[in-house]
Amino acid sequence: MTTKPKRWSEMMTQELAAATREFDDPNYNPPAQKPAKRRLSQLRRVQRKAAKNRFNIALALEANLVEQADEYAADHGITFSELVSNALRRMIGKKSA
């Protein structure tokens, strides 16, 4: 018979530290969880609404520049499209939409 683990609010300081030790590692990368169907459908609705006011364009850019930009976007938690949009807004002097 397995015992139910203690709630964090019931743990002593040492027990809590041992239970959360993996999160102290700055390189800790938790496994991704698949979103629930309801949450996924909400996300798709928001994406469809946002896509109505967007255009798809084709650009010819240097491969090295695209790689650097893609890496920068990933490091900052944004998409490549958001990076390009933000850069264009700054260049033409407008605030973010």
| Helix H or strand E segment including 89 | helix 80-92
d(CA 92, CA 62): 22
DSSP-based three-state secondary structure for 78: coil
> pTM of the entire structure?
0.46
Q: How many residues does the chain have?
A: 97
pLDDT tens track, the chain, 97 positions: 677 888 989 999 999 999 899 889 888 888 888 889 999 899 889 888 888 888 888 999 999 999 999 999 998 888 899 999 999 999 998 665 5
d(CA 70, CA 80): 6
Residue 74 CA, chain-centre distance (Å), reads 8
Contact 92, 85 (CB under 8 A): no
